[in-house]
Structure 1
């Protein structure tokens, strides 16, 4: 069973982190979000203490793990937010009709051609470096060095605290079967839609300076999920929850309120922030 953290009160909101992350990857947005919802912050299989079964190092198995968690806890209709790999899982759950609404932040799975090889090489290079450094990996989080070490993921690494970056690097190093998951993610077919008809809404957020999943992929994601909202984050890399936490919270809360929003308000959400 997946491990998780729970914060806040009220209607549940499930949060899914990215590859190599953990529930703690959401630390910069949890304090504000928990004022509005009861947050169920999962650790994906093989991450943050969640076990990874021998056959779980695939995207389909990751999705199945989240589905099993929701079923076991009796959560039949829920709003879900995902980042990176978690964002793709969220979209797949929407396609299967397993969620009430889906919010995906820079989801993977929309790369074409050479982009697959680029993502594969980038992620494999990252994990090899992090693990090769062993107990010295904390050096990657030091001021100045992190401006280079995580530049591919963050547009403004210097704005992140050293303890937070150390935590993310540690989580990445500890992730089980990281390499096998990367191989699967970059070899399977691209993510497809649309969302099931009863899914209330699908929203996609994307950093304009994403150097891992390039911004052009955002248009493919929106095309795959007709009717979805696409919101751009300026001065933002692959993780809006890192680079633009306040604006990410604002976006999430706006999306959760879509049913009460007017058409004009919905249209305004398509604009960049």
Structure 2
């Protein structure tokens, strides 16, 4: 299985899995900080970046199958892992399958119910159509604080602060992702995410959620936590759908803490953790 990926830094490997429409570049706001302490492996999922789409169905479960195959081929079974959005759902699925070490899932998709499904699907479909149509103007739009504010308001609580180059890279890859439409439908209406019974996940697992997420609504966090009772739930304040954009320093600290084998009791002392869990 070929997955385009980059490696930076030294130390124990840390795998990064991006969200729908993104690529390894979706991590660039925190990549260097993570690579200062770990060997970071950031992949392009099938159909994204420089990795071709899968033949046949492209869904969460076929992407997860491809990732498991790739982990085995790369001798990375048991690797620590972080995912964002769709990538966070993939992290949960891989943790459920028992092929990861410590893991962080940032604002995972897949826990929509009732009216939330069409809201997610049609808002996502409208957004990507707009992004595709605006490609000739995208350098000018993302190069302006006002342009980023208007374009990225669904994803960030402070879109004007998203670096222009990061915003442009993200908008370029959204437009070029060959299986975006299929994956968007699968995320909203495909097979529901399976959970993992209490005691079945042996390594630390944290679900991080932005309190102002407008893509995966904060109310969905309780459903994700119920499906994965071994996970701790961590809230990021003043944060939208992409913590690596809105709270990069806190996100790095969270990732390094969880995957650094610290005790859960020590982590729980952080204000961001849900005291009820």
Counterpart for residue 155 of structure 1: 157
Q: TM-score, normalised by structure 2?
A: 0.93
Aligned equivalent of 2:179, options 155, 177, 180:
177
Counterpart for residue 192 of structure 1: 194
> Where in structure 1 do 4 or more consecutive aligned residues deviate above 6 Å?
none
Counterpart for residue 235 of structure 1: 238
Determine helix, strand or coil for the equivalent of 1:102. strand
Aligned equivalent of 1:143, options 145, 148, 164:
145
Q: Which has the higher mean CA deviation after the structures are superposed, 189-198 or 201-210? A: 189-198
Structure 1 residue 157 displacement after superposition: 0.6
- Going from structure 1 to structure 2, the CA distance change for 1:143 and 1:60 (only over 3 Å counts) comes to same
Superposed CA offset, 1:40-92 (max 9, x none):
10100011110113314211121122112111111121111000000000000
Equivalents in 2 of 1:198, 1:238: separation in Å? 25
Q: Which has the higher mean CA deviation after the structures are superposed, 120-129 or 139-148? A: 139-148
Equivalents in 1 of 2:141, 2:214: separation in Å? 18
Equivalents in 2 of 1:140, 1:189: separation in Å? 36
Equivalents in 1 of 2:195, 2:264: separation in Å? 25
- Going from structure 1 to structure 2, the CA distance change for 1:160 and 1:40 (only over 3 Å counts) comes to same
Structure 1 residue 190 displacement after superposition: 3.1
C-alpha RMSD of the superposition: 1.7
Structure 1 residue 28 displacement after superposition: 0.8
Aligned length: 271
Superposed CA offset, 1:103-123 (max 9, x none):
100000011111110110111
In structure 2, the gaps of 5 or more residues are none
In the alignment, structure 1 residue 206 sits paired with structure 2 residue 209 = yes
Task: Work out whether residues 95 and 201 of structure 2, in 8 Å CA contact, stay in contact via their aligned partners in 1.
Answer: no
Counterpart for residue 4 of structure 1: 5
Structure 1 residue 211 displacement after superposition: 0.4
Structure 1 residue 272 displacement after superposition: 5.6
In structure 1, the gaps of 5 or more residues are none
Aligned equivalent of 1:224, options 224, 227, 231:
227
Equivalents in 1 of 2:225, 2:157: separation in Å? 23
Superposed CA offset, 1:18-56 (max 9, x none):
001110110111111112111110100011110113314
Equivalents in 1 of 2:252, 2:212: separation in Å? 19
Q: Which has the higher mean CA deviation after the structures are superposed, 192-201 or 208-217? A: 192-201
Structure 1 residue 198 displacement after superposition: 5.1
